[in-house]
Every structure is written in structure tokens, then in C-alpha cells.
Amino acid sequence: MGVSTLKYMRFYPHPNPPPEMGRELHRLRIVIPVLPHISNHTDFDALRLHPQVDFYFVKMNEAIPPADLIVLPGSKNVRGDLECLRAHDWDKALTRHLRYGGKVLGICGGFQMLGRLIHDPFAIEGDAGSSSGLGWLDMETTLAQTKQLRQVTANLAFAEAQVTGYEIHMGVSTGGALQNPALYITDGQVSQAEGAISADNQIAGTYLHGLFDHEQSCAAWLHWAGLQTQQHFDYEKLRNDELDRLADCVEQHLDWDKLAQYV
């Protein structure tokens, strides 16, 4: 007895930018450590497709390539992943990276790692207790029992650029570093400072996911990291065009009359 199908879909390749795009312009090398409990890795989809970015996901036991920007990503177990980073000498590599003028950006859990201390009194992510952070931002984070979950629109503090993204975290961060924010969240007539940038402008952190999904914000962050001359790149348009292309492909190849029998 055969298997009933609704037709076969043809191979649908992902249209990565041609390798020659952006080769004549300055390029930026970006490294993201693959934490054991990494989360929200879609934060970097736009960077992986950017024609002027050489993008690397690097596992804990792999050699760390030279980079202009290292991004500490979100984590579902910040203290555990921070311990793993130290066990593989990433803390030393990050210190060396900063010494030679590189930039470091922390997003959500990665932002928490940049502070002095991380407290988990309710055993939210593991055993209850506290861990020392990397100590580059003057702040402490306490994991609370209530999760912060919201979509927000924000203006970058260091550039004329706007971004719409989302927050999803348990941590509450406090400290002097937050007096020099990375963004200002707009909520009606109220503007709320968010994130932090170090006094030497080498280190930044934020709880906001989606920093690179919007053209202006992506360009501003890459400029902050050292990409002075940039080629036009609109990830939102690229993503929407791909969704349309996928929809057209599905419409063309599926047997809609047969599908209707199951609806």
C-alpha cells in the first residue's frame, strides 16, 4: 500500500549573498561563542547574511579566530555558561581581545555576564547562589521569579537609529553602569534607559533581542564595532522577500484540491 502525498516540494536553496558582494569594502569579523545553553541564536541571522560580515559561531573547544567584535549571546543558564567560558579560557581571550582594541557586546544573558555579580537566590537556572561576572560593567544581576516578557521600540543612545525588538529574561540588573545606557525604550511619552556602554566605548550590553534585524540599528551597531563604510543591507526586506518566495513555491507545487479534502 503506497503512501499518500500532497506532492513533492522541490529543493529550496537559501539565497546567501554572492561571495563577491562587499569584498571591495571594509569587512568586519564577528565571533559568537556557542554556549552550552545558548538561546535566541536567531539574533544573528542578519549578521550571517550581511555582505560585509565574516561571521563565526565558535564552539567552546575550538580556537578563537581574530575578531573585531565578540558577542556574548543569550543563555538559559548564565552562571553555568559563564563557568564553561572560564573553563575554556574565553575570559582570558576576551581580555586579550579588549586589550588590542576589540569590541564586546552582551545580549540578555551575555549582558549579565559583563557585570560584577550574578545572583540566583531562588535556583531559577541551577543551584541557588552567586557567581562572579567578568567585571567589566559596574552592575549586579539578580534572577527574579517573574519573567520579563515584552515587545519594545527603542532609540539607540549612541546613534540616530531606532529598533523594535523584545525582552525575555528573569534577571534584574542594577548598578552605576546603567547610568550610561545603550538604548532608550520609548513608551508613549516616557523614555526608559536600557542597557549600558562602558566609559571607554569598548563594551556594551542590553536585554533587547533583535538588534540587527532592522536596517538602521544594524548599521549603527556595526559602525560602533568598526565598520565605517557600509554597503546598503536591508535584512527585513530580504526576510520578507524570502517568505514571499517560499509561499510562491508552496502554492506552485502543492496539490491544493487534495489538501482541501483534509481541511
What is the rounded distance in angstroms from the CA atom of residue 250 to the CA atom of residue 50? Answer: 27
Nearest C-alpha neighbor of 217 from the set 169, 191, 242, 184: 184
Q: In the annotation, is 209 catalytic?
A: yes
Question: What's the burial of 74, exposed, middle or buried (CB within 10 Å: 0-12/13-18/19+)?
Answer: buried
Describe the chain by its helix, strand, coil percentages, rounded to 5.
Answer: 30, 30, 40
Residue 43 half-sphere exposure, CB side, CA atoms within 13 Å?
A: 28
C-alpha separations of 2 from 5, 184, 247 in Å: 9, 59, 28
Q: Are 110 and 72 in contact (CB under 8 A)?
A: yes
Which of 108, 169, 214, 218 is the catalytic position? 108
Strand order in the sheet with 53-59: 53-59, 28-34, 69-72, 103-107, 203-206, 196-197
Per-residue DSSP letter, 130? E
Cβ burial 42-57 (10 Å sphere, 16+ → b, else e): ebbebbbbbbbbbbbe
- Sign of torsion over alpha carbons 124, 125, 128, 133: negative
Q: Give the C-alpha separation, 129 to 114, whole Å.
A: 18
Q: What are phi and psi of 196, to 5 degrees?
A: -160, 150
- The catalytic position among 50, 169, 209, 214 is 209
- Tell me whether residue 232 is one of the annotated catalytic residues: no
List residues with catalytic annotation. Answer: 108, 209
